[in-house]
Structure 1
């Protein structure tokens, strides 16, 4: 009997490696704001009223908004037969509509010029502006994944499989109420009309990426669920601010999770992410830069443990999801060049909305220690430095100054109210 030798082990592909490590597909092309947009597609483009359905799979009705996106970002739109049918040849109306829609573009942090229409997406100011990926193949619009690759599917799976039934119910109700104020707005009516002119699914599609995504893998998922609930239940915050916070919170949680699960795979102890909040200390800046490099190296090492034969480009795509998503959402100082961890005002506002209940305040010192460090694993001040052992190599006064600098920024942004020299309270801004 012929012996064919040992069976060759199958080489895992990039998405399979990412799912093994993190529960879902994290990819550079899907970095930045795309996970949040993908999440909202799952929430608001389902086929029934249960926006967080139980079961092994979900079905959605994808829409492309190709009419509006091509109107703004495709020179070839002039030959589209829908142009005369919808706009009736009114060039003035066409130009006005084009400029209005251009203002609704979802930011592309790395973009320096107008994108192709398939890369440009609308920010979901109203529910009818939520849309999927699409591209033009041989003069035929296809609805398919380009940038919505799976980060949002992972976030959605975590929310809909929450074992805390009361929290699951409240999150569902929060999403149902999120866009209530925009239902009859002129922008929603315009977006709905334009959406009707675009390519969309004729029947529900079962999403295979979400189906293969894992959830309930660790307790850190509850941090995401709790943050999402707090954002949705903010009573003095506008719907747009909540939507922006949901998208930012989703992105921030994904990169924090990516760091934690990579370290777990390597059997490394937890270590905080060190943020430089602008105290102009060169030592702290270098430490933060080294911290970023360590995070990225750990992701690569964890990938190599799962699949040593993964091509370098695929490894780098998984690693690059971290830095690109962090940079786009204010957790890194820049998209290009020498990078270090920081917290932008937008990131801080999102964290406050996600961690402090509506109508409540938290002393600033507790926010820095209990929220940023203990909940999220972000080191800013002396308390975090002492608890994590950073003071063994860095003078504690550097972290004190860093904490003071962050307080100044949050006071200026309206996120901290200083009642006296000894009393500073953190609370969400009142947008009402």
Structure 2
């Protein structure tokens, strides 16, 4: 419910988002920053308890501006730190620059080199985890640019888990996640570079996380179970787990955004129609219409909370959905006509989040029980019949769609075909 203090005034975008979804879902121009924001809260809290209880959360924000400016800021040549930290060797400096450039977190909306404040390092090791920063009046300031609140909501959901055993296992999993890279050369280098960069002198209380709300529905347990399952994958590398946690966070947030928007409007659950390459114009159009309906519902639900919110702010909340879905392989493209699909990376992340380590699940059950019943994604005939979609789309199209997805998962090593009748889904052993 809205706070009493909000009555009689026009609510701002973040307040509307919190009312609808529990936290701030805002367009970040890249779509995968919620996962990076989550890792900042988990590993930069400055306390022993990795998922602390209580109302307030403190975080030690670090900018990594030294490394980011070295790569993406031409004016860094005049920074005095360049001469005190780096050897006066252009070849060595160039090698370091190219190494750090390879660590960049992908920006799907960009076609050329970004400004340093927009470029972030992928968190391959714990010292590469960093916050947003920008330069103002020749001073580096730690402040939100792209980490706008989706990760804070995910963190709140994890740390307020009412299932004590699951909460403790998640803490243990996060503590072990980076154990294999703790003494790696990359971690040592990242730690040294991080020490040269602007960071908080003392922990700073995060107001965005403090105002987020969790334990709003049972769908939050789907997210918690997925994170725990990823953390407990014994055969997966730490990098594969980090990628999966970031992807799972983004995917769950958009699925939740759709569900809670529909709930606000009094609409029942309707699955998201996913085109996995069945070569059917009818299915493609249905998936496109499904996406448009989701986006329209988001705008309508925002208007239901605050009718006077400017269109630009409504569109930011709406755009969070498609940008985050596209960046995490749940839409076919960032630009142009879009429809729901599942990339290989998205499939790998879903498998890691839903199939326990060392276990297998029949492909047909994965499509029905995991994708449809648990996540609300319609692929095959069983889901189409249960959702009443076969009244407008021939059931054989969904059968072909399910077969195409199986072929993709077999090629990716996520499905093992033991016979014509037996196909089993399991996490890849080489991730």
Give the distance between the partners of 1:29 and 1:194, measured in 2 at CA: 26
Deviation track 1:358-381 (CA, whole Å, cap 9, x = no partner) reads: 000000000000000000000000
Structure 2, unaligned stretches of length 5 or more?
1-5
Displacement of 1:318 = 0.2
Partners of 2:30 and 2:107 within 8 A in 1:
no
Give the distance between the partners of 1:344 and 1:322, measured in 2 at CA: 17
Q: In structure 2, what is the equivalent of residue 53 of structure 1?
A: 52
Partners of 1:30 and 1:151 within 8 A in 2:
no
Q: In structure 1, what is the equivalent of residue 275 of structure 2?
A: 276
Displacement of 1:88 = 2.7
Q: In structure 1, what is the equivalent of residue 3 of structure 2?
A: none
Q: In structure 2, what is the equivalent of residue 182 of structure 1?
A: 181
Partners of 2:29 and 2:323 within 8 A in 1:
no
Runs of at least 4 residues of structure 1 off by over 4 A? Answer: none
Partners of 2:30 and 2:109 within 8 A in 1:
no
Displacement of 1:323 = 0.2
Q: In structure 2, what is the equivalent of residue 212 of structure 1?
A: 211
Partners of 1:45 and 1:62 within 8 A in 2:
yes
Give the distance between the partners of 1:339 and 1:394, measured in 2 at CA: 19
Displacement of 1:33 = 1.2
Displacement of 1:93 = 1.1
So what's the TM-score if we normalise by structure 2? Answer: 0.98
Q: In structure 2, what is the equivalent of residue 410 of structure 1?
A: 409
Give the distance between the partners of 2:137 and 2:183, measured in 1 at CA: 37
Describe the SS at the equivalent of 2:191: helix
Give the distance between the partners of 1:299 and 1:77, measured in 2 at CA: 42
Give the distance between the partners of 1:431 and 1:51, measured in 2 at CA: 28
Q: In structure 2, what is the equivalent of residue 3 of structure 1?
A: none
Structure 1, unaligned stretches of length 5 or more?
1-6
Deviation track 1:98-120 (CA, whole Å, cap 9, x = no partner) reads: 00000000000010000000000
Describe the SS at the equivalent of 1:424: strand
Pair 1:407–1:12, CA change in 2 (3 A): same
Give the distance between the partners of 1:227 and 1:24, measured in 2 at CA: 20
So what's the TM-score if we normalise by structure 1? Answer: 0.98
RMSD between aligned residues: 1.0
Partners of 1:30 and 1:149 within 8 A in 2:
no
Matched, 1:234 2:220: no
Pair 1:356–1:8, CA change in 2 (3 A): closer
Partners of 2:235 and 2:430 within 8 A in 1:
yes
Partners of 1:30 and 1:150 within 8 A in 2:
no
Describe the SS at the equivalent of 1:29: coil
Describe the SS at the equivalent of 2:28: helix
Superposed, which structure 2 residues align to 1:72-221 within 5 Å?
72-221=71-220
Deviation track 1:23-63 (CA, whole Å, cap 9, x = no partner) reads: 00001126511000000000000111111001011101010
Q: How many pairs align?
A: 426
Displacement of 1:431 = 2.0
